[in-house]
A and B are shown apart, each in its own frame.
Chain A
């Protein structure tokens, strides 16, 4: 009787350990067409952010963040251009098409444009970071 019980338990344990459902470990992939890295823009103009985000199963969100590239060390926070947008996305592929308008009074200098994405399981894509220059002509 004990033997039987042990056998059932062992089989159950082995089944329990081996019959695991397959988990999605594949990260989404971000590819950006425009803008190009180190591209220059003038205040008041629009950055055409275009690209594609793909996943093997289901996408969840994309986050677009543009901020000053001079680090967190500046004291005046008012006139610095800062942009953020979080978009819910779904399916296996998403065409990113987002115009970002630079205010006419934006501070000039180096900016970072960061694009991040996740899938429904929480896998994080390798993010894209672009260095953009805003300067007057």
Chain B
């Protein structure tokens, strides 16, 4: 380690020769003035002159990305080498389609989407701030191929291409987020107030990201753009009527010379969710919903972040810290069987009574990128603490002394992560060589038991190469090896007789040491015959080491109403994944179609045993983890059409099927086929200082009849939304948006909702608003 650090510092001492990068921006062969040219690596912007020319001075040797934007033209991203042989000429293409400018912040230094054979969706700062959705996952779930498991107020889990839980990997500032992702009632513990941009890389991608990157990877960034020079303040507010939620946020940024800092804070308080129903049917009983509100679904959360950064000639450095604290009430009927007495109105919409859960999450990371003579070195280190606690009134079925407090299940997980990657460009194209390591420690407490305390250590090494084969074809490929070791602690509980005397103990989980290894690889091609078409095909692979609950759980999982038992014989789950995409766009129309097939080896699933757990253990049918080969196929598409210049139509959709090849049953939690149509009309000219837009849309979910054992079928549904937005594009931009979601207060069931099991409808009509102002 010490030798390595010496080597790093030795490289810094290289005095890198300063050069300039210059070029000209053309549109239809004539120069474009006032186009913006952004040098990503240094976060510098210049505006082109009357002759379309631009220049950046004092740039060290290396490879850089320029982002060129001009209204009415497709944004362009080009790669430049410093020193330049000749000034670069960049040709822009006219278009009224809002081409999504796609960037992958795989490090502080960028990469370009179109050279990677992956399918990527992006939510930028503007889209996140302007959305009127209740949370980040809800906003992501509007993208093609992305759905969510709705847990209740302010909490949801992302599902990408029909895969979720530990089959979707989330990175925050380059560090893998760890917070008991296996849990069906554990949402993503990140607030939108602390996140500026999100990229979703769809499909298996373990080559670069390692274990768990099966369905897709969500990359979240706290600082995707740097604050303006001087001091700047952003304030925002979101309101939702369906749960009386109000969520203010504010951030202050400061930048001077090569230093910047940013401080942000947000708060959200929400009441019980309103549903368009006054009763629900569960197992031949009709239960009341008083005031058409789901009792005890209120929640609140506090979140804050701070970051410091430096952009130096030797590279970049960022220190980030994010905290997130949340308290969510559980609908009493969804935390075990419904019970009339528990559903009585408590006449307070905002109180959070038992059962409820609290989540405290903190994430500290250091991101550094160092320029080296032939590339750059990226070094990221992170430390995360995640504490989840479920509180409830103890059940009266157990023998022995009554629990001393209401903590049913407490889990605290500490994670240390480090990634080292060297990016370089031998000959043409680029390469990455990387090493990553993670160490985790989990402790459990509480009067209920589900999974043991454990610690794990894992390490991975990979190599990735991307290079042009011909002028129009780019190939990328690579290989990876991983190793994981686990130490699972023994769990004993005392046994009592009928007189409540302790008569010995019993073992729920055996002490166990496991180790796993995995080797994987991928290859992909990108074919760009001209600027209007992109074809991609990728043969990738993903893998996932079995989680501790899958190996050693022994308890009732409230999130699924099931008693789950681990299986110590599990092997790593692997997938071979073939996916492709066809993209075509012209001045008025764009379409993107992406089909995929995943063949799973050793897919891990819960198999019912036909046996019951006693109620002292939480009850429910006992399900044991098992594995089988599975097949998974699907398709997503996106179409965008400017019917006339001001009228814009967007149609998105996706569908996925999952099939267990051993049990011949459907896989659980498969999203239904769905279509999302959105129409928007621009009232003002797009180049005006003040713009306004009206929009209306609908979301159709087909019925889902391909269900797993004991899973309920869900009928089709359609909901509508409509709204208006206004935007001022001055130096102090202002934005306001009003939207009505579920316009007709439709009572519908959503297949992936935690409330589906109880035949409970989803949230009713909601009047939403978002406001953002910068000064």
Chain A residues in the interface with B (C-beta under 8 A): 16-17, 20-21, 23, 25, 60-61, 63, 65, 67-74, 77, 80, 82, 84, 86, 116, 118-124, 126-127, 129
In contact, A123 and B397 (Cβ under 8 angstroms):
no
In contact, B396 and A129 (Cβ under 8 angstroms):
no
In contact, B610 and A126 (Cβ under 8 angstroms):
no
Question: Using Cβ atoms and an 8 Å threshold, which residues of chain A touch B614?
Answer: 84, 86
In contact, B283 and A129 (Cβ under 8 angstroms):
yes
16 contacts between A and B (CB under 8 A): A16-B661, A17-B631, A21-B664, A61-B610, A61-B611, A63-B612, A67-B397, A67-B615, A69-B341, A71-B342, A72-B392, A73-B393, A80-B396, A84-B614, A86-B611, A122-B621
Q: Which of B284, B341, B616 contacts A70 (CB 8 A)?
A: B341
Q: Which of A20, A65, A69, A118 contacts B615 (CB 8 A)?
A: A65
Question: Using Cβ atoms and an 8 Å threshold, which residues of chain B touch A123?
Answer: 608, 709-710
Please, how many residues of chain B have a CB less than 8 angstroms from a CB on the other chain? Answer: 32
Q: Which of B393, B397, B610 contacts A82 (CB 8 A)?
A: B397
Question: Using Cβ atoms and an 8 Å threshold, which residues of chain B touch A21?
Answer: 664
A126 CA to B615 CA in the complex, in Å?
Answer: 18
Nearest chain B CB to A57 CB, angstrom units: 11
A118 with B612, Cβ < 8 A, contacts A72-B396, A77-B396, A123-B709 known: yes
A67 CA to B631 CA in the complex, in Å?
Answer: 44
B339 within 8 A of partner (CB): yes
Question: Using Cβ atoms and an 8 Å threshold, which residues of chain A touch B661?
Answer: 16
B688 within 8 A of partner (CB): no
Chain B 671-709: CB-based contact to A (< 8 A → 1; otherwise 0): 000000000000000000000000000000000000001
In contact, A60 and B342 (Cβ under 8 angstroms):
no
Nearest chain B CB to A12 CB, angstrom units: 13
Chain B 648-671: CB-based contact to A (< 8 A → 1; otherwise 0): 000000000000010111000000
In contact, A126 and B621 (Cβ under 8 angstroms):
no
B2 within 8 A of partner (CB): no
A68 with B396, Cβ < 8 A, contacts A23-B663, A122-B709, A123-B710 known: yes
Within B391-411, the residues touching A (CB, 8 Å) are 392-397, 402
A76 CA to B626 CA in the complex, in Å?
Answer: 41
Chain B: CB-nearest residue to A27: B710
In contact, B285 and A129 (Cβ under 8 angstroms):
yes
Known: A21-B664, A122-B608. 18 other contacts (CB 8 A): A23-B665, A61-B611, A63-B612, A65-B619, A68-B396, A71-B341, A71-B342, A72-B339, A77-B402, A82-B396, A82-B397, A84-B616, A86-B614, A118-B611, A120-B610, A123-B608, A123-B710, A129-B283
Chain B 596-617: CB-based contact to A (< 8 A → 1; otherwise 0): 0000000000011111101110
A127 CA to B337 CA in the complex, in Å?
Answer: 11
In contact, B609 and A122 (Cβ under 8 angstroms):
yes
Question: Using Cβ atoms and an 8 Å threshold, which residues of chain A touch B612?
Answer: 61, 63, 86, 116, 118
Q: Which of A20, A69, A84, A124 contacts B621 (CB 8 A)?
A: A124
A86 CA to B621 CA in the complex, in Å?
Answer: 11
A61 CA to B663 CA in the complex, in Å?
Answer: 21
A118 CA to B339 CA in the complex, in Å?
Answer: 22
A118 with B610, Cβ < 8 A, contacts A21-B664, A67-B396, A129-B283 known: yes
In contact, A127 and B621 (Cβ under 8 angstroms):
no
Nearest chain B CB to A86 CB, angstrom units: 5
A71 CA to B393 CA in the complex, in Å?
Answer: 10
Chain B: CB-nearest residue to A120: B610
A71 CA to B394 CA in the complex, in Å?
Answer: 11
A16 CA to B311 CA in the complex, in Å?
Answer: 57
Nearest chain B CB to A133 CB, angstrom units: 14
A121 CA to B615 CA in the complex, in Å?
Answer: 22
Question: Using Cβ atoms and an 8 Å threshold, which residues of chain A touch B619?
Answer: 65
Nearest chain B CB to A119 CB, angstrom units: 6
> Most chain-A CB neighbours within 10 Å: which of B607, B623, B709?
B709
A72 CA to B623 CA in the complex, in Å?
Answer: 25
Nearest chain A CB to B348 CB, angstrom units: 17
A72 with B615, Cβ < 8 A, contacts A23-B665, A118-B610, A129-B285 known: no
In contact, B710 and A124 (Cβ under 8 angstroms):
yes
A42 CA to B283 CA in the complex, in Å?
Answer: 28
Question: Using Cβ atoms and an 8 Å threshold, which residues of chain B touch A82?
Answer: 396-397
Nearest chain B CB to A106 CB, angstrom units: 13
Chain B: CB-nearest residue to A16: B661
Chain A: CB-nearest residue to B284: A126
Nearest chain B CB to A13 CB, angstrom units: 10
A20 CA to B629 CA in the complex, in Å?
Answer: 14
Question: Using Cβ atoms and an 8 Å threshold, which residues of chain B touch A71?
Answer: 339, 341-342
In contact, B402 and A121 (Cβ under 8 angstroms):
no
Question: Using Cβ atoms and an 8 Å threshold, which residues of chain A touch B397?
Answer: 67, 82, 84
Question: Using Cβ atoms and an 8 Å threshold, which residues of chain B touch A17?
Answer: 631
A121 with B285, Cβ < 8 A, contacts A20-B664, A74-B396 known: no
A61 CA to B610 CA in the complex, in Å?
Answer: 7
> Most chain-A CB neighbours within 10 Å: which of B395, B402, B610?
B610
Within B243-299, the residues touching A (CB, 8 Å) are 283-285
Question: Using Cβ atoms and an 8 Å threshold, which residues of chain B touch A70?
Answer: 341
Question: Using Cβ atoms and an 8 Å threshold, which residues of chain A touch B710?
Answer: 122-124
Chain B 364-394: CB-based contact to A (< 8 A → 1; otherwise 0): 0000000000000000000000000000111
Nearest chain B CB to A81 CB, angstrom units: 11
Chain B: CB-nearest residue to A110: B341
A121 with B611, Cβ < 8 A, contacts A69-B341, A72-B395, A82-B396 known: no
Question: Using Cβ atoms and an 8 Å threshold, which residues of chain A touch B709?
Answer: 25, 121-123
A77 CA to B402 CA in the complex, in Å?
Answer: 8
A16 CA to B619 CA in the complex, in Å?
Answer: 38
Nearest chain B CB to A82 CB, angstrom units: 6
Question: Using Cβ atoms and an 8 Å threshold, which residues of chain A touch B395?
Answer: 72
Chain A: CB-nearest residue to B339: A71
Q: Which of B610, B616, B664, B665 contacts A60 (CB 8 A)?
A: B610
Chain B: CB-nearest residue to A13: B631
Question: Using Cβ atoms and an 8 Å threshold, which residues of chain B touch A20?
Answer: 664
Q: Which of A68, A80, A121 contacts B610 (CB 8 A)?
A: A121
A49 CA to B668 CA in the complex, in Å?
Answer: 35
Nearest chain A CB to B684 CB, angstrom units: 54
A86 CA to B619 CA in the complex, in Å?
Answer: 11
In contact, A127 and B608 (Cβ under 8 angstroms):
no
In contact, A122 and B341 (Cβ under 8 angstroms):
no
Chain A: CB-nearest residue to B707: A25
In contact, B608 and A121 (Cβ under 8 angstroms):
yes
Chain B 512-530: CB-based contact to A (< 8 A → 1; otherwise 0): 0000000000000000000
A23 CA to B504 CA in the complex, in Å?
Answer: 43
Kindly list the 8 A-B residue pairs having the minimum CB-CB distance in the complex, ordered from nearest: A122-B608, A60-B610, A71-B341, A20-B664, A77-B396, A63-B612, A118-B610, A122-B610
Question: Using Cβ atoms and an 8 Å threshold, which residues of chain B touch A116?
Answer: 612
Question: Using Cβ atoms and an 8 Å threshold, which residues of chain A touch B615?
Answer: 65, 67, 84
